[in-house]
Amino acid sequence: MAAAAARSALLKHLRLTAAFPASPRRAAPLFFAQVLLRRRGFSTDEARGTFLDKSEVADRVITVVKNFQKVDPSKVTPNAHFQKDFGLDSLDTVEIVMALEEEFGFEIPDNEADKIDSINVAVDFIASHPQAK
């Protein structure tokens, strides 16, 4: 009996209102994203407005890479790979990632930084990160 009362009291405080999109296939991911954002203290409107435009991110990433002293600016393209196209080693790649962190104002976790090996990957990661400025 006490368990049922505790459950009922707990459920009163955990209820969320949700509006589902018309398509059931798209409803579940959107719904769960909204729930996770609310649990972390964001409204969906706040989270929706925090991502940078991908073309702006691409321009800024290309500028950072062009300004890296070991890179020939004439070889920089959106599809360029740091090691294959520029001949950079892993330490140089770390320096580029650090320059990107400085440019966009957030810290890239080590496990994600290890995956950034080209301009396209950097653009995709930064454009999808809510803390990028």
Write out the two tokens for 9.
């009291």
Q: 89 an active-site residue?
A: yes
Which of the residues 45, 53, 72, 89 is marked catalytic?
A: 89
* Alpha-helix runs per DSSP H in the chain: 2-14, 24-39, 44-48, 54-66, 82-86, 90-104, 110-113, 119-127
Alpha-carbon distance of 27 to 35, in angstroms, equals 12
Question: What residues act catalytically?
Answer: 89
